[in-house]
A = this chain, B = another copy of it.
Amino acid sequence: LTDEDLDGLIAFFDLLSASESLRAVTQLSAKERDHLITILPSEIAAELVEEAPNEVAVDLVERLEADKAAEIMDTLGSDLQADVIGEMDQEEAEAILAEMTSEHAQDVRRLAAYDDDTAGGLMIAEVFTFRQSDSISQVLLQLASEEEEDERLRGQHPYVIDEDNKPIGVVSLRSLITSRRSASLSSIMVPAVTVLVSTPLDDLVDLFDKHSFLGLPVVEADGSLAGVVSRSAVEEALHERSEMQSLKRQGIVGDELRSMPLLLRSRRRLSWLSANIVLNIIAASVISAYEETLAAVIAIAIFLPMVSDMSGCSGNQAVGVSMRELTLGLVTSRDVFRVWLKEASIGIVNGIVLGLLIGMVAWIWKGNAYLGLVIGLALAINTVIAVSIGGIVPILLKRFGQDPAVASGPLLTTVTDMAGFFLVLSLAAFFMPQLLGA
């Protein structure tokens, strides 16, 4: 990659979609990537930063000289600026902020202070504001002069603020068009629905579900206008959150991409796996307590992983349904008993079916009806235990302020492994004469 190829490079990026460009860039080595982002014009670099997941965006920007980084940052929306700056080291962030236009830097400092999944964290600082005394023609002129394509103003209505910067009204397009151009905004505005900077994502989702607004003005605790949160920002945050939850369930910490350094990825994965080892040792200690039983009927060892795995799967289905119902707001922490009742019934039906199936397999495979009885009975009972736990654990975790996406799976697996091993081995110990006699 040399500077002479720059024109070709720009032409190349023009041909690619944003995600294709990002793919190309993430496949470069860290050194090539740093060089590339330095020589690319800031508009193209900004597109890459916009498309990239947060951690990659930070990585791209923080390798640059502060002035080049500031140039790219200045072209981004204030919400993205705040996200990127918020994840940087204090020192680097300050160096870049110092080079940005002071107006932008001020907005970013303010926005970066809010929590990610609140109205403050999702809003943009750029707002379309007018005074009560402004006339319709002033608004129309402003509308006409604004870059209509500007994403940051997408879906905003003109908001009317008082002298304390408090939003007191909103003006509809229809009233703008149908009223005399000399009329003042106070005569056509309607009261604005506002949200607080601290309003959480879930409440925003509910509000946007209930109303058809494209954006809502966000106010500080003192009522002054802080920004506008758009419907699409809320939908994006919702999507991002559920993606993250799904990754967490699989033991991925943070926003791992294969372009990140090996040792960082390895360390993050190990942090989750090593917690899992401990849980596994606890479960395995149940087997260890029954070594004699196992030694007497070695065929049991074949079915131990099977019973624990099948129960784990059944329990996971219950976790999945509970997570979905929690997301949709269809269950609350008061519904633990109802959920348990529903899951236990399904556990009994599925437990009988699966127990019969696996019992027959064990009987036919090893020619021992009692082995079939032990394995089948253990799976049937453990299925009821697994779906009961799988159904209620996410709801209880949520009640106690824990993230159900992270802890439900490992908790469930440990309990169903332990219960499965215990059931198989204690039933085997109980039926030992019959198992050996057949």
Contact = CB atoms under 8 A, between A and B. Distances in A.
Interface in A276-293: 276-277, 280-281, 283-284, 287-288, 291
Is the contact region of chain A dominated by helix, strand, or loop, or is it mixed? helix
Interface string A293-308: 0110011011111101
A403 to B, nearest CB: 15
Contacts of A299: 288, 291
Contact of A247 (B150, B324, B345): B324
Nearest to A379: B277
Interface stretch (A5-13, A79-87, A100-108, A256-264): A256-264
A294 B283 CA distance: 19
Given A239-B235, A281-B361, A283-B305, A23 B329 contact: yes
A250 B320 contact: yes
A302 B294 CA distance: 10
A339 to B, nearest CB: 7
A19 interface: yes
A62 B289 CA distance: 56
A143 B252 contact: no
Contact of A308 (B206, B301, B305, B324): B305
A283 B206 CA distance: 47
Contacts of A257: 321, 324-325, 328, 330
A357 B270 CA distance: 11
B350 A243 contact: no
A340 B357 CA distance: 38
A357 B277 contact: yes
A206 B22 CA distance: 12
A53 interface: yes
Interface string A169-209: 00011100110000000000000000000000000001001
A110 interface: no
Contacts of A325: 257-258
B143 A19 contact: no
Interface string A341-355: 011011001100110
8 contacts: A18-B210, A23-B330, A256-B321, A266-B346, A277-B354, A281-B361, A284-B302, A295-B295
